[in-house]
């Protein structure tokens, strides 16, 4: 059995906890129990960016571990199918709740595509660092480029906008395009490969960190299932409470 690195799982659990608090506030706002502009207020948008970055960085770290342990393509595709299937469920569920702004390329959709790219480019070695920086920087040039060459505005349309080279953000509940987020995955992959080669002890083995640490690590291992279930449960509980109260 491949070795588990608890510190990666705990890092993923931190992202899950942060995401849960964020979505709790989102749901309270959705049902009118609080009033927050979560799409514009920097307090909320900065948190969303940090949460997504943490998820994608750990996805890159995990790919580094999988490659280091000799994971073959068949096992990769089995895990990938789980992520892709979960992404389709998110699209379906969000369409039922938010038909005008359903999620067609959110974090799971992005991860499904970026994992394949990360796997294919893992051999780039140190070039992953500048590639990641380029991916992070390119979206900043999109508005200027589209002003110079209006034909590039096609990248703002649904479909091409999954690339992320846009000047207008789409109206959707979650949007995690390849640019700039592929850069975070590449940096996670590069960091993981360096740590495994030079400081493997930083990642820690399994069963360390006391009861809380082991609990967080276990939570992090079930991140995909938790991601799919937490929001329906939160919305159901809050919506049910609002219905009973009123």
Separation between Cα atoms, residue 108 and residue 141, nearest integer Å: 26
pTM: 0.93
pLDDT tens string, the chain, 246 residues long: the values are 567 788 999 999 999 999 999 999 999 999 999 999 998 999 999 999 999 999 999 999 999 999 999 999 999 999 999 999 999 999 999 999 899 999 999 999 999 999 999 999 999 999 999 999 999 999 999 999 999 999 999 999 999 999 999 999 999 999 999 999 999 999 999 999 999 999 888 887 665 667 888 899 999 999 999 999 999 999 999 999 999 987
Q: Which residues contact 185 (CB under 8 A, 6 or more apart)?
A: 56, 57, 59, 60, 63, 111, 114, 115, 117, 118, 132
Q: E strand or H helix at 123, and its extent? A: none
In this structure, the dihedral spanned by the alpha carbons of residues 186, 193, 87 and 135, taken in order and rounded to 10 degrees, is 0
């Amino acid at each position: 059995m491949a070795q588990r690195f608890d510190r990666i799982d705990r890092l993923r659990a931190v992202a899950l906890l942060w995401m849960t608090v964020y979505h709790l506030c989102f749901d309270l706002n959705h049902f009118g129990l609080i009033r927050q502009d979560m799409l514009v207020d920097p307090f909320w948008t900065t948190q969303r960016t940090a949460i997504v970055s943490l998820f994608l960085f750990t996805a890159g770290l995990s790919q580094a571990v999988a490659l280091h342990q000799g994971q073959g393509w068949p096992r990769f595709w089995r895990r990938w199918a789980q992520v892709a299937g979960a992404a389709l469920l998110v699209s379906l569920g969000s369409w039922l709740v938010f038909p005008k702004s359903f999620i067609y390329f959110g974090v799971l959709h992005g991860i499904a595509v970026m994992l394949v790219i990360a796997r294919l480019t893992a051999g780039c070695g140190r070039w992953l660092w500048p590639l990641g920086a380029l991916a992070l920087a390119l979206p900043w040039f999109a508005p200027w480029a589209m002003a110079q060459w209006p034909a590039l505005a096609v990248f703002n349309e649904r479909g091409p906008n999954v690339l992320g080279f846009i000047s207008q953000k789409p109206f959707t509940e979650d949007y995690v395009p390849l640019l700039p987020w592929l850069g975070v995955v590449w940096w996670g992959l590069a960091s993981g490969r360096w740590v495994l080669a030079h400081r493997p002890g930083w990642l820690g083995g399994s069963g360390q960190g006391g009861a809380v640490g082991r609990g967080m690590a276990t939570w992090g291992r079930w991140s995909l299932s938790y991601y799919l279930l937490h929001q329906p449960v939160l919305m159901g509980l809050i919506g049910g409470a609002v219905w009973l109260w009123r």
